[in-house]
Amino acid sequence: MDTRLLIIVGFVLLGAVVAFTLIPKSHATANVEPQTWTVLAGMEEEDGVLQALRFLPQKITIHVGDSVTWKLNAKAEEHTVYLTAGGPIPPFEITGTDGRNYFNPVVFFASQTKTYDGTSPISGGVLSNEEGQQSAFTLTFTKPGVYEYVCAFHPGMKGTVTVLPANQKLPMTQADYDQMAQAEAQQALMKAHELHQQTLQPMMASRPDGSTEYTLDLMGDMQAEATALSFGPSSLHIKAGDTLTWKMSDFTELHTVTFPENPEELPEFVMPEPQDNGPPKLVVNPQVEKPAGGDTYDGSGYFNSGYLLRPEGKPAPTYSLTFTKPGTYQYVCLVHSTAGTQGIKGMKGTIVVEPSQSVESQKAQSWTVLTGTDEEDGALQALRFLPEKTAIHVGDSVTWKPDTKSTNEHTIYFTAGGPLPMLEIVGPDGRDYFNPAVFFASEGKAYDGSGPFSGGVLSSEEGQQSTFTLTFTKPGVYEYICAFHPGMKGTITVLPTNQPLPKTQADYDQMARMEAQLALNKTHELHQKLMQPQVTSRPDGSKEYLLELVGDMKTMATILSFVPSPLHIKVGDTVTWRMQDFTELHTVTFPEDPENLPEFALVEPQNNGPPKLVVNAKAEKPEGGSTYAGSGYFNSGFLLREEGKPAPTYSLTFTKPGTYKYVCLVHATIGAGMKGTIVVEARETSAQPQQPTATMPTMATPAQGFTLHIDAKKHINEAPELVVHHYCKTLDPQVTQCLLFDSDAPNAHLIGEETIISSQIYAQLPDVEKMSWHYHKVEIPLVDAKLPGLSEEEAKKVVAAIEDTYGKVVIFWSPMTPAAPIGMPSITKPASH
């Protein structure tokens, strides 16, 4: 076999020029008998649900006279092999002279010739697992060149065969390509799994009539060449009158949404018409291709979306059905039904339609809406009214109350179509006050929509109201908000008593759980991203740490946590907090006494009416300067991100060793409290004793020669965004070793080591050991690798030289514990995993 490993011949400092050569290992005689090489067409998991729409491997190099066999490697999919010879990809459908649509024979049938010189297109036909169909195609290449081919069914599914003269050595063996194929497939299947998870939670939208619209996304990814052959939840429960919309977000596939009259007798996708001479004509079945049945479904008749196909640059096509009759209804994608295929689920779904709520008696009901929920002792917050939309009858009441786990504070405010009131107002005395129209409940407990109405603040603090109940006296659609959290909105639809209600309280409780989980899932995602702050090295050797305060307006999720905590830094380092969150208000406050925090609001009782709530300037205004030595009161003031405005920031440079606790005054008592700790450690002196020149070693040492500089991310398991600086040298044609540092500064910490080996050595490793190694051809695009000091052309050569190698990274000093190496060394898991 032939492996190319980078040999660093020399490195000229300050000139930043690397000289290198690619040393081939001995290879079998080039001029050997012709070989047949194998390329897999696709790969699947989970009974065909997860699909890697890739040729595996995507690129292969062979000799003139060699053959390539493409083998179908999926039961739930079919693929084509079409070598374009530089021309366009033919359409898979054409219109015949009789006006009917036909599947293009150029795509569907294999060319007669089995040799290829690149002068004109050639088709390998359809690779299929159906009985009597070909599942493999073999082609012999007779001329050197680079030949691209495609699957005409799946946009983006492409491959390349590079054909070398017989006297040139080949870079890889079939075993090497098989390994590449597995790595490339795994990358696509991981994306397919991610897509499938996204489909399991349909979007829900309440409508003015009280019914619900569910949107099911059909998902694929062109870049990863992955798709999920799934309609999302295998069984979806809805009410009569609800609507389902299927949205074709997938650029890689063709689907249908079909409710057949008889699930055991599906229309054929293709109708073959035998011919006297040549292959049959493949007529496109219009029952599959064309929409049928209308937009309301009562369980009878044939209903079909027709082809759902999304061309690039075009909006996603959709298909909607309103279900009018209770029952259990099964549907299918006619392209991917795979009826009768053993071990394959097929792309099928079930809709269970339950009766809508019947008209109730005139007795008024009380309904419950939750004001948010949280996890992790208040750190992860779902800032949502749960459910967001509720339909009730005239005379019914709604009670808003916190979930049993909810620790945050919220308001209920009906705008009656008017503006949202200001949270703060300026009084006649020039002081800032919290607006009583927001903070205190309006008089009365009934609402007809004629004007704004406030439910006041709902708080879990002792002595404060935690619930609010309002009776609705007039039909209409009433929107309300939480004045504390922009984007936290809800709707009450009030129906006349003679109209049926679409849902029961139990239905709304289920909706509430689903909506809450959507937001809480987002909080976990946000929290993970915060675990590694962005670190910037500065010319003086100090560092700046950027801690993000984040939330998500779309899902109404936020993090009430300073992450990471504790944060270990050095004297002279700076910490910057950046307010990326549109949903919240925060402060960053280093109090003089952590046990005696300034009050957020100063309460001034009045002789008549509610008290005045004075905004405490100690919380609202910045104080203390920009350098912190552990004493005094330091405060960012209010950090509030407004739409269309840049994110506000607050920075402190720490000048004295110590452990310093800080807090957000707004959320100091929410759950466990929004608190953080900064551990400031002494900085090592940069002065080094001058060594006498005569004692400097003149002989070569193992430490010399680590001069090739490569920067890459995703080397620290708990901090994937941290850039790790590699300094590498080649020990022999099979092994290169890299020292890993946490920065490129003179006093950077040596935090780990990466060993790079040839594919020949890798092939000899035990299977268990192979799991710790990553393949650079797959890994390099994922780790944002850069080669400082090299020109673009030089960098490309280095990358090309190490693509066909494997690396193992051992970290023995985590940058998360900068004081000293703590704990056991760890092996970095490959980014592709």
The angle subtended at Cα 203 by Cα 198 and Cα 208, nearest 5°, is 180
Q: Concatenated DSSP letters for 285-331?
A: -HHHHS-BS-SEE-S-S-EE---EE--TTSPPPEEEEEE-S-EEEEE
User: Alpha helices, DSSP H only, in 713-818?
Assistant: 759-763, 767-770, 776-779, 792-802
Q: Tell me the H-state helices in 75-210.
A: 105-108, 174-199
Q: How far is CA 406 from CA 380, 381, 403, 433, 558, in A?
A: 10, 8, 5, 27, 13
pLDDT at 516 > cutoff 80: yes
Q: For 316-320, 551-555, 589-593, which range has the lowest pLDDT when averaged over its residues?
A: 551-555
Q: What is the DSSP string of 1-35?
A: ---EEEEEEEEETTTTEEEEEEEEPP-S-SS----
Question: What average pLDDT does the segment 210-237 reach?
Answer: 88
Read off the pLDDT of residues 157-176 as tens digits, 9 standing for 90 and up. Answer: 999 999 999 999 999 999 99
User: What pLDDT, on a 0 to 100 scale, did the predictor assign at position 206?
Assistant: 79
DSSP three-state, residue 506: helix
Per-residue pLDDT band for 406 (boundaries 50, 70, 90) equals low
Question: Distance (Å, rounded) from C-alpha 827 to C-alpha 206?
Answer: 49
Q: Hey, what domains does the chain have and what are their CATH numbers?
A: 33-176 (2.60.40.420), 194-354 (2.60.40.420), 366-513 (2.60.40.420), 531-681 (2.60.40.420), 704-827 (no CATH)
User: What's residue 745's pLDDT?
Assistant: 81
pLDDT > 80? residue 693:
no
Instruction: Give the distance from CA 592 to its chain's centroid.
Output: 42
- Which residue type, as a one-letter code, is found at position 663? V
Q: How far apart are CA 397 and CA 471, in angstroms?
A: 4
Question: Mean pLDDT of all residues in the chain?
Answer: 87
Q: What is the pLDDT of residue 405?
A: 67
Other Cβ atoms less than 10 A from the Cβ of 569: the count is 22
The reported pTM is 0.49
Residue 391 to residue 57: CA distance in whole angstroms: 55
Q: What pairing do the DSSP bridges indicate for beta strands 243-248 and 318-323?
A: antiparallel
The neighbouring-strand residues paired with 373 are 382
Contact by Cβ (8 Å): 332, 346:
yes
Residue 103: half-sphere exposure toward Cβ, Cα within 13 Å: 23
The type of residue at 308 is L
- What letter does residue 705 receive in the DSSP assignment? T
Which among 702, 709, 539 is positioned nearest to 16, based on CA atoms? 709
What average pLDDT score do residues 618-646 get? 93
Would you mind telling me the total number of residues written for the chain in this entry? 833
Phi-psi region of 579 (alpha: psi -120 to 50; beta: other; left: phi over 0): beta
Most confident region among 105-109, 125-129, 657-661, 683-687 by mean pLDDT: 657-661
The amino acid sitting at 685 is T
Closest of 773, 775, 784 to residue 810, by C-alpha: 773
Determine what percent of the chain is predicted with pLDDT higher than 90: 55
- The distance of Cα 811 from the centroid of its chain, to the nearest Å, equals 26
CA angle 701, 706, 711 (to 5 degrees): 160
pLDDT at 341: 61
CA–CA distance, 703 with 713 (Å, rounded to integer):
24
Tens of pLDDT, residues 782-828: 888 888 878 888 888 888 889 899 999 999 887 766 667 877 788 88
Report the pLDDT value the prediction gives residue 687, as an integer from 0 to 100: 45
Question: Within 10 Å of residue 450's Cβ, how many Cβ atoms?
Answer: 8
Encode pLDDT of 521-567 as tens digits. 888 888 877 877 899 998 888 999 999 999 888 888 899 989 888 99
